[in-house]
């Protein structure tokens, strides 16, 4: 997950200028008393390697955290992190205590192949092989379904050097696509008999935005729009080729459901509203932003529709529709949903292409706010799922959560968002599972350890895990396979966080 805050320096000005005349939530019909989930629905939690493991020294993010003023409080994931690979048993126990049946995590390229030579000779680090073998074996013994992410923001240092940010890095490099595809093939071949659910790239648009617009990710560039969109295009092409490589290498049906590899990406899908709903320019800017953010890359890998200039018209010289090398290159759609976003055509830093200013934090609404300053907006989950359902593919929520150190809002947040998932199912969405972010507190990228997204906390010194009370709510929902409106209404009302993590 990544919190993208492109207009953060001017946020105070934006909020002061906002003429948002009413809370932008849509009107809804009468709510059902109960929503249910099918047998076999995957109940899960999620993590990412760099955020919970330690010792990923041969990566661009390891260099990034050592760069002055890039990480809140100068935090580093190693000493103070949860050291997940050394505590697999404890973490599986947490999942079982919550009634989880699935776990999303990453297998880290830079851990398996810390040097270019190691990759070229296909000599993965033996300790890394042993570690991931152990994770998968223990998940199988516990009856847990694994979902493996291959690229969750972090690239081996031999492909990405943030100290040379003015030069092409990672996905900008022509060699990156072929090397990533080969990595995907090797991982699928090695562990395909234990894994059916594959996620190639986490939040491909956010990787580009963080690294080339906001500057909070490697290689730390600001408003480098040409490079931003070049990265997104490279990721789309790389995913399509990795999709084919995984299917070619993984023919094993690990969980006995009659299907082998099920491959997708995790897409960060947001709800969008115009800052001023009565301003036609804001409304049009909102449409443009929704298209580029939520739909562009899905159109590529589902329909093969390549809109090279991101204008939505498919009339440019490099545009094409129905490209067979790109179409039908996802088996399901991964949805990361967190909150709402307000869009202005003129107030704030207007980003070219979408011709809009993006406001994510401290929105001028009456909704409760998280410790990230994000609105708690469960209804947006329903809107996003309805939009994704139009692609006529299975859906899994691959991330959904909030920063809530005191655990005052997490139980209600979980229940209300799952209630919206259930409602989307009744409207026809083919939703197969839900993975909450996160299993336990972790290193939240540029925000360091401040945000507490976990169902479990941990002691930085002893690494002892403690399940927060909201974990009981997850267990009740997962074991019953239902969310009841009366149970939501019995939970304490939301309270806005009084502190912020950025």
Written as one string, the DSSP assignment of 213-270 is II-SSTT--SS-HHHHHHHHHHHHHHHHHHHHHHHHH----TTSSS---EEEEEEE--
Report residue 406 as tokens. Answer: 């005191």
Task: Go through 255-275 and write b for each residue having 16 or more CB atoms within 10 A of its CB, e for each that does not.
Answer: beeeebbbbbbbbbbbbbbbb
pTM value > 0.75: yes
For the chain, report the end-to-end CA distance as a whole number of angstroms: 15
- Split the chain (502 residues) into runs of 10 and give each run's mean pLDDT: 46 39 54 97 98 98 97 95 98 98 98 98 98 98 98 98 98 98 98 98 98 97 96 98 98 94 98 98 98 98 98 96 98 98 96 95 96 96 98 99 98 98 98 98 97 98 98 98 98 92 79
Written as one string, the DSSP assignment of 261-304 is -EEEEEEE--EEEESSTT-HHHHHHHHHHHIIIIIHHHIIIII-
Residue 183 near residue 158, CB atoms below 8 Å: no
pLDDT at residue 154, as a whole number: 98
Q: What is the architecture of the domain spanning 8-490? A: Alpha-Beta Barrel (3.20)
**In angstroms, rounded to a whole number, what is the distance separating the alpha carbons of residues 455 and 20?**
34
pLDDT at residue 1, as a whole number: 57
Closest CA to 398 of 38, 40, 45: 45
* β-sheet bridge partners, residue 399: 336
* β-sheet bridge partners, residue 397: 335, 434
**In angstroms, rounded to a whole number, what is the distance separating the alpha carbons of residues 69 and 71?**
6
Residue 470 near residue 26, CB atoms below 8 Å: no
pLDDT at residue 14, as a whole number: 38
Residue 464 near residue 458, CB atoms below 8 Å: yes
Torsion, CA 44, CA 50, CA 51, CA 53, rounded to 10: 80
Q: What is the SS3 assignment for 52-107?
A: HCCCCCCEHHHHHCCCCCCCHHHCCHHHHCCCHHHCHHHHHHHHHHCCCCEEEEEC
Report residue 191 as tokens. Answer: 């562990």
pLDDT at residue 180, as a whole number: 99
**In angstroms, rounded to a whole number, what is the distance separating the alpha carbons of residues 121 and 480?**
50
Report residue 193 as tokens. Answer: 């008999």
Domain borders along the chain are: 8-490
Residue 300 near residue 239, CB atoms below 8 Å: no
**In angstroms, rounded to a whole number, what is the distance separating the alpha carbons of residues 143 and 136?**
11
């Amino acid at each position: 997950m990544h919190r993208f805050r492109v207009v953060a320096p001017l946020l105070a000005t934006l909020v002061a200028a906002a003429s948002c005349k009413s809370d932008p939530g849509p009107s809804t019909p009468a709510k059902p008393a109960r929503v249910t989930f099918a047998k076999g629905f995957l109940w899960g939690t999620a993590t990412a390697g760099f955020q919970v493991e330690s010792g990923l020294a041969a990566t661009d993010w390891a260099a990034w955290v050592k760069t002055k003023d890039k990480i809140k409080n100068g935090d580093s994931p190693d000493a103070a992190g949860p050291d997940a690979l050394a505590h697999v048993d404890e973490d599986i126990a947490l999942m079982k205590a919550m009634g989880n049946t699935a776990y999303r995590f990453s297998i880290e390229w830079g851990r398996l192949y810390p040097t270019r030579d190691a990759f070229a000779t296909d000599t993965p680090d033996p300790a890394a092989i042993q570690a991931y073998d152990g994770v998968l074996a223990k998940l199988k013994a516990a009856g847990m379904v694994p979902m493996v992410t291959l690229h969750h923001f972090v690239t081996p240092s031999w492909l990405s050097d943030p100290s040379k940010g003015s030069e092409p890095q990672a996905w900008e490099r022509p060699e990156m696509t072929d090397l990533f595809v080969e990595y995907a093939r090797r991982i699928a071949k090695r562990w395909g008999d234990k894994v059916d659910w594959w996620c190639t790239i986490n939040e491909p648009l956010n990787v580009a935005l963080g690294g080339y617009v906001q500057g909070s990710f490697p290689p730390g560039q600001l408003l480098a729009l040409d490079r931003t969109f070049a990265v997104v295009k490279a990721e789309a092409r790389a995913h399509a080729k990795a999709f084919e490589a995984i299917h070619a290498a993984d023919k094993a049906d690990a969980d006995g459901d009659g299907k082998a590899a099920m491959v997708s990406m995790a897409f960060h899908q947001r709800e969008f509203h115009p800052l001023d709903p009565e301003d036609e320019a804001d409304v049009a800017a909102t449409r443009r932003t929704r298209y580029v953010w939520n739909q562009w890359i899905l159109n590529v890998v589902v329909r093969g529709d390549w809109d090279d200039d991101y204008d939505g018209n498919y009339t440019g010289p490099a545009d094409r529709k129905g490209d067979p090398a790109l179409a039908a290159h996802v088996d399901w759609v991964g949805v990361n949903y967190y909150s709402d976003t307000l869009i202005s055509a003129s107030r704030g830093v207007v980003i070219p292409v979408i011709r809009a200013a993006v406001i994510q934090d401290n929105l001028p609404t009456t909704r409760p706010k998280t410790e990230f300053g994000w609105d708690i907006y469960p209804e947006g989950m329903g809107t996003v799922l309805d939009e994704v359902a139009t692609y006529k593919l299975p859906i899994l929520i691959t991330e959904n959560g909030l920063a809530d150190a005191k655990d005052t809002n997490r139980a209600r947040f979980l229940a209300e968002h799952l209630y919206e998932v259930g409602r989307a199912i009744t409207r026809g969405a083919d939703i197969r599972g839900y993975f909450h972010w996160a299993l336990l507190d972790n290193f939240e990228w540029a925000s360091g350890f401040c945000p507490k997204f976990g169902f479990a906390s941990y002691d930085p010194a002893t690494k002892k895990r403690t399940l927060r009370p909201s974990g009981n709510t997850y267990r009740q929902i997962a074991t019953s396979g239902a969310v009841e409106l009366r149970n939501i209404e019995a939970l304490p009302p939301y309270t806005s966080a009084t502190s912020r993590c950025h």
